[in-house]
C-alpha cells in the first residue's frame, strides 16, 4: 500500500486548489478581511479614475457608495460614522441619506455618505474617521453609542488570534476555511438561532474571554475608552479642518413601573464639554423626548425610517442654527 | 487533555512518530509516559489512583494465574502511588490537601504487601478466589467512594432529616476522577477473565500499566477485554500504511461527529433542558432530537477518535456503536449502543446473576438489576437510575408484548449485545414493518434521552408537560429546526452510505474520487463549526 491513497491526494488537491483560487482571484476582496474592522484602509477602495468605492471592512460591508477623492468645490460633503443604529436599513432611509435630501431641498448642494457599520464601537469608528478625513469632508457626524465596546474588544481579539502563531489558529490561516467559518457564523448561526439559544455560550475563545472579563470594572474602563476615543476623534477632525457633530444615542427602555423611558446611558454628560468651536452636539434623547417617540423605535436601540427622518430634520435644524453648514445660496 | 483541544493533534503526531521508531519495550515505555501525561493534564493527583489500581490488578491477576511475585517487588510497586503523591505535594504545595490521601497512600504498600502474603497462604482454589475478590472489591470500593459516596451519604442524611434525626454532618467534597468508571471496569474484566481462564495475565508491570492507561481509550472507552487488547501490547505491530490510512479516516469521522454534529446540536439541547426556557411542544421535540444527535455524535465521535489514535499505533480497538438509531427494539438498541459497556454488563452482571436461564420472572429481575446498575454507572443521581429503569421497562415490554417482540425479532435472549454485527435495517422482513419498528424504537429512545438529559425531575416534568402546549410561547422554532437538520442530516447520510459495509467509518467500496470529496466535506464541516471547544459528555462518567 502506498503512503498516500488516491482519495487522500484528491482531498489535498481540492483543499489546495480552493485555497489557491481564493488567494489568486479574490485576494483584493480579502484585503483586510481578517482584521475585523481594524485595518486602517479596509473598505475604502480608491480607483484609478479618482473615485473611492466603499466595500467591505472586516466581516462587515459598507452600503455600496462611491464618491470622488477630491471633494467638488461647491459641494457640502457629510460623512456619518456610526454603528447599526446610524446605518439603518439603507442609505436613503437612514438619517444620513435623509439629511442630504433635506439640505438639498434647502438649496444647499450636499452629499451625505453613510459610513456606519454594525457593531462598530469607539475604536473602530475612529479608524473609519481617520480614513474618512482623507477625503475632505465638510462635516463628520459621529454617532456615539456606548454599547459596542464589547464587540470592538471581541473583534480585536479575533484579529489578534488570526495573526497569532499559536497552533490553535493554524487552520484559520487558510482563507477558504476562515471565510467558510465566518460565512456560517454570519449567515446561519446569527440568522437561524434565536438570541436565547446563542447567548448560552461563547462562540469563540475570544468571545469567551471577553464574556468572562465582563463586569462593572470593564464597563467603566470601556466608558472611559469611549470618552478618550471621542476626544481624540474631535481633535483629529479639528487638525484636519473638518467640522464634527457628535450625535449621542438614546435607547428605548422601560422604567421600574414598566413605563417607556429614554436613556442616554451617560453619553450626553460625557460629550457636554466637547461642544465648542467647530464641534456640535446633538442629543437624541433631547430630540425625541417632546415627541411620541416609542413608535419611532424598531427595538430598544434601532430606529424605524420615520425615526431616522426625525433625526435628519433635527440635524438639519442644528446644523443651520450652529452655523455648521453654509447658508443656502 | 481533550481529543478536540489544539494540543492533542501535536501530541498524537509526536507519539506516533516516536512509537514506530522504537522496539517493543520502548513502545510500552512511550505509551506509559504519553498516557500518564495525557491523563495528568486533567489532574496529576489522580495518577496515584491509577497507579494503585494498576498495582493491585497486576499482582492479583498474576496471583489468580498462580504466579507469585517476590514480596520486595510487590512492595516496591505498591509504594509508587505514595511516592507520586509525595512528589506532587513537594512540587506543588496545593496539590495534596488535606493530608489524608498521603497517609492512606503511605499505608497502602504495607497493607497490600501483608494482604498479598496472607492470601498466598490459603489453599489454591480459595487463594485464586480471594485474589479475584481483592481485585474486584478494591476497584468497586474506589469507584463507589469517588463516584457514589456523596450521593448515597447525602440521600441517607436527607432521609434521616425527614425522619426527624438531624446529625448536622457536612459531607466532604469529593472530586470525581476522570475515567475512573472506565478503567475500573476494564480492570475487573481483566481479573475475572483470568479467573475464568479466558485470558492470560500480563507478564510485566510496564506492559500492564501501559495497557490499563492506554491514552486513546483511557478516558471514555471502549472498555476492552484483556484478550482483545493485551496481546497487542505483547507483540510489536508491524508498520503498515493501512494503519495510518484507517487511523486518519477514523479521526476525521470522529472529529466530524463531535465538532460538527454534537457540539452544534448541543446548543439546542442545552437550551431546552436548561430549566429556564419556556417550552412548547415543537421546542421540546426539537431539544430532545438535538440531544439524541448530540450524545450520539459526542460519544461515537469520541470512540472513533480513540480508535483512530490507537490505529495510528497499529492497535485495534473494538467498535462501540453500530447505527444505534436504526435499532428495531431495545435489545437491538443495546447491541448497537455503547457495545462494550453492554457486553460488560452482560458478561459480568447479567449472566452471573443467572441470565435468562431460570424462568421469566427471574430473567426479568436480572434484567432490571442489570439495567438499573447500568444507569447508575452513568452517574450518581436518581435521574440515571430512572433512565436505567426506563430501559429495563422497555426490555420487559418487548418481552411481554408478543407483537412488539415480533417487531423486534430479537435474535438474542440476553438484553445486551451478543451479536457482533446486528442485521441492518429491513433485512429479512418487509421494509414497512422494519421502518415502523425503527421509528417506534427511536421514539422510545427519545423519551429515554429526555430522562438522561434532564438535570432533575422538575425539568423532566416540564419537558413532558410541553407536549400539551402548542401555543407559540417560545421562540420561533422553524429556523432552529433548520439548524438541527443542517447538523444531523449529513451524519444520517454518512450512516446510510456506510450501512452496507456495517461499519460506520467504512467507505472503502466507494470510488476514490468520491471518497476524496467526502473527506473534503467532512473536513470543511469540522472547520466551519461555529461552537468553540466543548468537553465530551462521557468524560463526566
- ipTM value of the model? 0.73
Cα separation, B517 vs B528, in Å, equals 16
- Judged by a CB distance cut-off of 8 A, whether residue A192 touches chain B is yes
Of A168, A177, A208, the CB nearest to B527: A177
Residue B412 has a pLDDT of: 40
Residue of A nearest to B518 (CA): A11
**How far is A218 from A208, CA to CA, in rounded Å?**
15
How is B337-390 classified by DSSP, letter by letter?
A: SSHHHHHHHIIIIIHHHTTTSSHHHHHHHHHHHHHHHHHHHH-SSHHHHHHHHH
What gap in Å lies between CA B440 and CA A97, rounded to an integer? Answer: 60
- Residue range B403-410: average pLDDT? 77
Task: Answer whether residue A299 shows pLDDT above 90.
Answer: no
Average pLDDT over residues B110-126: 89
| A81: Cβ contacts below 8 Å, ≥ 6 apart | A115, A116, A125, A128, A129, A132, A140, A141, A142, A143
Q: Residue A293 to residues A164, A260, A313, B216, B469: CA-CA distances in angstroms? A: 47, 9, 15, 62, 37
- Residues forming a β-bridge with A54: A44
Give the pLDDT confidence of B7-57 residue by residue, as tens digits.
899 999 999 999 999 998 999 999 999 999 999 888 888 899 999 999 999
A8 touches chain B (CB under 8 A): yes
pLDDT of amino acid A25: 79
CA dihedral B487, B490, B491, B494 (to 10 degrees): -170
B-chain CB neighbours of A203 within 8 Å are: 530-532
CB contact B520 to A (< 8 Å)? yes
CA distance A303 to chain B (A): 23
Pairs of residues, one from chain A and one from chain B, whose beta carbons lie less than 8 Å apart: 101
Whether A189 sits inside 8 A of B530 (CB atoms) is yes
A194: closest chain B residue by CA = B475
Contact B476 A194 (CB under 8 A): yes
Q: Is A14 at the interface with chain B, CB within 8 A?
A: yes
Per-residue pLDDT band at B411 (split at 50, 70, 90): very low
Bigger pLDDT: B175 or B515?
B515
Task: Say yes or no for a CB contact (<8 Å) between A192 and B482.
Answer: yes
State the Cα–Cα distance between residues A78 and A94, nearest whole angstrom. Answer: 13
Closest-CA distance, A180 to chain B, in angstroms, reads 6
**Model confidence at A35: pLDDT above 90:** no
Cβ neighbours for B66, distance < 8 A, ≥ 6 positions apart: B124, B128
Among the listed residues A287, A296, A277, A274, the one whose alpha carbon sits nearest the alpha carbon of residue A318: A287
Q: How far is A188 from chain B (nearest CA, A)?
A: 8
For residue B87, the SS3 value is: helix
> What is the pLDDT averaged over residues B433-461?
92
What's the pLDDT band for A39 if we cut at 50, 70, 90?
A: confident
Q: B509 CB near a chain A CB, below 8 Å?
A: no
Could B531 and A201 be called an inter-chain contact, meaning their C-beta atoms sit closer than 8 Å?
yes
Please indicate if any CB of chain A lies within 8 Å of the CB of B277. yes
Cβ–Cβ under 8 Å, residues B203 and B182:
no
Q: What is the pLDDT of residues A77-103, one digit of tens each?
A: 999 999 999 999 999 999 999 999 999
The residue in chain B having the minimum alpha-carbon distance to the alpha carbon of residue A181 is B528
Quick check: helix, strand or coil at residue B294?
helix
- Catalytic residues of B, which ones? 378
Average pLDDT over residues B263-289: 88
For residues B62 and B207, the answer to whether their CB atoms sit within 8 Å is: no
Of A1, A11, A201, the CB nearest to B516: A11
Q: Which residue has the cell 422554532?
A: B477
pLDDT in tens, A134-179: 999 999 999 998 888 888 888 888 788 778 888 777 887 888 888 8
Is the full-model pTM beyond 0.90? no
- The rounded distance, in Å, linking the Cα atoms of B234 and A319 is 87
Mean pLDDT of chain B: 86
d(CA B383, CA B459): 11
Instruction: Count CB-CB contacts under 10 A for residue A108.
Output: 20
Cell numbers at A323, concatenated: 452655523
Q: What is the pLDDT of residue A30?
A: 61
Q: Are B81 and B52 in contact (CB under 8 A)?
A: yes
Lowest mean pLDDT among A19-33, B90-104, B108-122: B90-104
Window 453-472 of B: residues touching A by CB (8 A cutoff) are none
How big is the CA angle at A287 (ends A281 and A288), to the nearest 5 degrees? 145
The answer to whether the CB atoms of A14 and B10 lie below 8 A apart is no
Mean pLDDT score, B134-138: 93
**The pLDDT of residue B420 is above 60:** no
- Least CB–CB distance from A196: residue in B6, B475, B527: B475
B479 CB near a chain A CB, below 8 Å?
Answer: yes
Q: Are B140 and B185 in contact (CB under 8 A)?
A: no
Query: What are the tens digits of pLDDT across the range A254-288?
Result: 888 888 999 988 888 888 777 777 788 999 999 99
> What's the gap in Å between the CA of A203 and the closest CA on chain B?
5
Report the chain B residue with the minimal C-alpha distance to residue A8: B516
Q: Grid coordinates representing A64?
A: 455600496
C-alpha cell at A155: 473583534
Rounded Cα distance between B182 and B223, Å, is 6
pLDDT at B190: 95
**Helix (H), strand (E), coil (C) string for chain A:** CCCCCHHHHHHHHHHHHHHHHHHHHCHHHHCCHHHCCCCCCCCEEECCCCEEEECEECCEECCCCEEECCCCCCCEEEEEECCHHHHCCCCCCCHHHHHHHHHHHCCCCEEEEECCCCCCCHHHHHHHHHHHHHHCCCEEEEEECCCCHHHHHHHHHHHHHHHCCCHHHCHHHCHHHHHHHHHHHHHHHHHHCCHHHHCCCCCCHHHHHHHHCCCHHHHHHHHHHHHHHHHHHHHHHHHCCCEEEEEECCEEEECCCCCEEEECCCHHHHHHHHCECCEEEEEHHHHHCCCCCHHHECCCCCECHHHHHHHHHHHHHHHHHCCCCCCCC
Does residue B539 surpass a pLDDT of 70? Answer: no
Using the beta-carbon criterion (under 8 Å), do A1 and B245 form an inter-chain contact?
A: yes
In this predicted structure, the answer to whether residue B196 has a pLDDT above a threshold of 70 is yes
- The residue with cell 442616554 is A264
The predicted structure's pLDDT at residue B487? 92
Q: How confident is the model at residue A26 (pLDDT cuts 50, 70, 90)?
A: confident
Share of chain B above pLDDT 90, in %: 52
Residues of chain B with C-beta less than 8 angstroms from the C-beta of A193: 267, 479-480, 483
What B123-126 contacts at long range (C-beta under 8 Å, 24+ apart), as own/partner pairs, is: B124/B66
Q: Is B91 on the interface with A (CB under 8 A)?
A: no
pLDDT tens-digit series, residues B208-252: 999 999 999 888 879 999 999 999 998 888 999 999 999 999 999
Residue A203 pLDDT: 54
Of B272, B250, B261, residue with least CA distance to B319: B250
Question: Which residues of B fall within a CB distance of 8 Å from A202?
Answer: 532
Nearest CA in chain A to B276: A196
Spatial distance between the Cα atoms of A159 and A153, rounded to a whole number of angstroms: 10
B271 in reach of chain A (CB within 8 A): yes
User: Quick check: B286 pLDDT over 80?
Assistant: yes
Q: What average pLDDT does range A17-31 have in this prediction?
A: 78
Grade residue B5 by pLDDT with cuts at 50, 70 and 90. confident
**Contact list, B483 vs chain A (CB under 8 Å):** 188, 192-193
Contact across the interface for A196 and B6, Cβ inside 8 Å: no
How high does pLDDT run on average in chain A?
86
Instruction: Say how far apart CA A18 and CA A174 lie, in whole Å.
Output: 10
The model's confidence at residue B176, banded by pLDDT at 50, 70 and 90, is confident
At B413 the pLDDT is: 38
* Span B366-387, average pLDDT: 90
Flag whether pLDDT at B418 surpasses 50.
no
Do the chains contact at A15 and B523, CB–CB below 8 Å?
A: yes
Mean pLDDT within A169-191: 80
pLDDT at B530: 64
Question: How many beta carbons lie within 10 A of that of residue A78, not counting itself?
Answer: 25
Q: Identify the pLDDT of residue A64.
A: 92
User: If pLDDT is split at 50, 70 and 90, which confidence band does A219 have?
Assistant: confident
Per-residue pLDDT for B375 more than 90? yes
pLDDT at A306: 94
For the record, the C-alpha cell of B395 comes out as 426490555
- Residue A28: per-residue pLDDT: 63
Contact A189 B482 (CB under 8 A): no
Q: Does A188 contact B at CB distance below 8 Å?
A: yes
With the CA atoms of B412, B414, B419 and B424 taken in that order, what torsion angle do they form, in degrees rounded to the nearest 10?
A: 60
Chain A's closest residue to B475, CA to CA, is A194
Of A3, A180, A202, the CB nearest to B524: A180
Higher pLDDT, B416 or A16: A16
Q: Across A63-77, A146-160, B418-432, which has the greatest mean pLDDT?
A: A63-77
Q: B276 contacts in A (CB within 8 Å)? A: none
Q: From A171, which residue of chain B is nearest by alpha-carbon distance?
A: B527
- Does residue B319 carry a pLDDT above 70? yes
Amino acid at each position: 500500500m502506498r503512503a498516500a491513497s488516491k482519495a487522500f491526494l484528491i482531498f489535498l488537491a481540492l483543499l489546495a486548489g480552493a485555497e489557491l483560487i481564493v488567494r489568486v482571484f479574490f485576494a483584493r476582496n480579502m484585503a483586510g478581511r481578517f482584521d475585523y474592522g481594524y485595518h486602517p484602509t479596509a473598505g475604502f477602495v480608491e480607483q484609478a479614475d479618482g473615485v473611492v468605492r466603499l466595500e467591505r471592512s472586516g466581516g462587515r460591508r459598507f452600503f455600496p457608495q462611491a464618491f470622488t477623492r477630491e471633494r467638488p468645490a461647491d459641494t457640502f460633503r457629510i460623512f456619518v460614522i456610526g454603528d447599526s443604529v446610524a446605518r439603518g436599513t439603507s442609505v436613503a432611509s437612514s438619517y444620513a441619506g435623509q439629511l442630504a435630501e433635506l439640505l438639498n431641498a434647502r438649496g444647499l448642494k450636499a452629499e451625505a455618505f453613510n459610513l456606519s457599520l454594525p457593531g462598530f464601537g469607539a475604536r473602530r469608528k475612529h479608524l473609519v474617521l481617520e480614513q474618512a478625513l482623507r477625503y475632505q469632508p465638510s462635516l463628520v457626524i459621529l454617532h456615539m453609542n456606548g454599547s459596542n465596546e464589547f464587540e470592538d474588544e471581541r473583534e480585536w481579539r479575533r484579529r489578534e488570534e488570526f495573526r497569532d502563531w499559536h497552533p490553535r489558529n493554524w487552520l484559520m490561516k487558510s482563507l477558504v476555511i476562515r471565510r467558510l467559518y465566518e460565512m456560517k457564523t454570519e449567515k446561519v448561526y446569527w440568522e437561524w438561532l434565536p438570541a436565547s439559544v446563542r447567548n448560552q455560550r461563547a462562540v469563540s475563545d475570544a468571545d469567551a474571554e471577553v464574556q468572562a472579563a465582563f463586569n462593572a470594572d470593564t464597563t467603566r474602563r470601556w466608558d472611559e475608552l469611549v470618552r478618550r476615543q471621542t476626544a481624540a476623534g474631535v481633535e483629529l477632525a479639528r487638525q484636519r479642518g473638518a467640522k464634527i457633530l457628535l450625535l449621542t444615542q438614546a435607547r428605548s427602555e422601560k422604567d421600574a413601573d414598566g413605563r417607556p423611558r429614554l436613556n442616554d446611558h451617560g453619553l450626553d454628560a460625557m460629550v457636554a464639554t466637547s461642544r465648542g468651536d467647530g464641534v456640535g452636539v446633538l442629543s437624541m434623547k433631547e430630540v425625541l423626548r417632546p415627541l411620541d417617540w416609542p413608535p419611532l423605535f424598531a427595538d430598544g436601540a434601532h430606529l424605524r425610517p420615520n425615526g431616522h427622518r426625525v433625526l435628519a430634520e433635527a440635524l438639519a435644524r442644528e446644523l443651520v442654527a450652529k452655523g455648521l453648514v453654509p447658508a443656502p445660496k | 487533555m481533550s481529543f478536540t483541544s489544539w494540543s492533542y493533534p501535536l501530541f498524537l503526531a509526536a507519539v506516533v512518530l516516536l512509537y514506530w521508531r522504537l522496539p517493543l519495550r520502548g513502545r510500552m515505555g512511550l505509551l506509559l509516559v504519553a498516557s500518564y501525561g495525557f491523563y495528568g493534564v486533567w489532574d496529576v493527583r489522580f495518577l496515584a489512583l491509577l497507579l494503585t489500581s494498576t498495582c493491585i490488578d497486576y499482582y492479583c491477576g498474576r496471583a489468580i494465574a498462580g504466579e507469585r511475585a517476590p514480596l520486595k517487588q510487590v512492595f516496591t510497586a505498591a509504594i509508587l502511588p505514595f511516592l507520586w503523591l509525595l512528589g506532587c505535594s513537594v512540587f506543588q504545595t496545593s496539590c495534596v490537601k488535606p493530608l489524608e490521601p498521603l497517609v492512606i497512600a503511605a499505608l497502602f504498600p504495607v497493607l497490600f504487601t501483608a494482604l498479598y502474603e496472607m492470601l498466598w497462604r490459603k489453599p489454591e482454589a480459595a487463594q485464586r478466589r480471594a485474589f479475584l475478590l481483592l481485585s474486584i472489591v478494591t476497584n468497586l470500593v474506589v469507584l463507589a467512594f469517588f463516584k457514589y459516596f456523596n450521593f448515597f451519604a447525602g440521600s441517607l442524611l436527607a432521609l434521616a432529616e425527614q425522619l426527624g434525626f438531624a446529625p448536622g454532618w457536612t459531607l466532604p467534597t469529593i472530586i470525581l476522577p476522570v475515567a475512573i468508571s472506565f478503567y475500573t471496569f476494564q480492570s475487573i474484566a481483566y481479573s475475572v477473565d483470568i479467573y475464568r481462564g479466558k485470558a492470560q495475565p500480563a507478564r510485566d508491570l510496564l506492559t500492564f500499566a501501559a495497557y490499563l492507561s492506554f491514552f486513546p481509550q483511557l478516558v471514555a472507552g471502549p472498555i476492552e477485554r484483556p484478550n482483545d487488547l493485551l496481546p497487542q501490547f505483547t507483540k510489536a505491530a508491524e508498520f503498515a500504511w493501512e494503519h495510518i490510512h484507517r487511523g486518519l479516516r477514523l479521526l476525521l469521522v470522529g472529529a466530524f461527529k463531535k465538532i460538527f454534529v454534537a457540539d452544534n446540536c448541543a446548543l439546542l439541547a442545552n437550551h431546552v433542558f436548561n430549566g429556564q426556557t419556556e417550552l412548547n411542544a415543537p421546542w421540546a421535540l426539537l431539544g430532545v432530537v438535538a440531544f439524541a444527535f448530540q450524545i450520539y455524535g459526542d460519544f461515537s465521535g469520541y470512540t472513533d477518535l480513540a480508535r483512530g489514535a490507537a490505529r495510528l499505533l497499529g492497535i485495534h480497538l473494538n467498535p462501540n456503536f453500530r447505527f444505534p438509531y436504526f435499532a428495531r427494539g431495545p435489545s437491538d438498541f443495546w447491541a448497537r449502543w455503547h457495545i462494550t459497556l453492554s457486553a460488560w454488563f452482560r458478561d459480568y452482571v447479567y449472566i452471573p446473576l443467572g441470565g435468562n436461564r431460570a424462568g421469566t420472572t427471574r430473567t426479568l429481575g436480572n434484567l432490571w438489576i442489570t439495567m438499573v446498575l447500568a444507569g447508575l454507572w452513568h452517574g450518581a443521581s436518581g435521574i440515571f437510575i430512572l433512565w436505567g429503569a426506563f430501559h429495563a421497562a422497555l426490555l420487559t415490554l418487548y418481552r411481554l408484548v408478543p407483537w412488539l417482540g415480533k417487531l423486534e425479532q430479537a435474535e438474542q435472549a440476553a438484553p445486551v449485545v451478543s451479536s457482533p454485527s446486528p442485521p441492518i435495517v429491513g433485512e429479512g422482513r418487509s421494509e414497512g414493518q422494519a421502518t415502523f419498528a425503527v421509528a417506534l424504537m427511536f421514539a422510545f429512545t427519545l423519551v429515554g434521552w429526555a430522562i438522561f438529559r434532564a438535570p432533575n425531575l422538575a425539568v423532566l416534568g416540564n419537558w413532558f408537560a410541553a407536549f400539551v402546549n402548542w401555543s407559540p410561547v417560545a421562540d420561533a422554532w422553524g429556523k432552529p429546526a433548520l439548524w438541527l437538520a443542517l447538523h444531523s442530516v449529513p451524519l444520517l447520510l454518512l450512516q446510510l452510505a456506510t450501512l452496507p459495509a456495517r461499519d460506520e467509518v467504512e467507505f472503502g467500496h466507494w470510488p476514490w474520487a468520491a471518497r476524496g470529496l467526502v473527506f473534503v466535506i467532512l473536513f470543511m464541516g469540522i472547520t466551519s463549526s461555529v461552537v468553540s471547544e466543548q468537553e465530551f459528555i462521557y468524560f463526566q462518567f
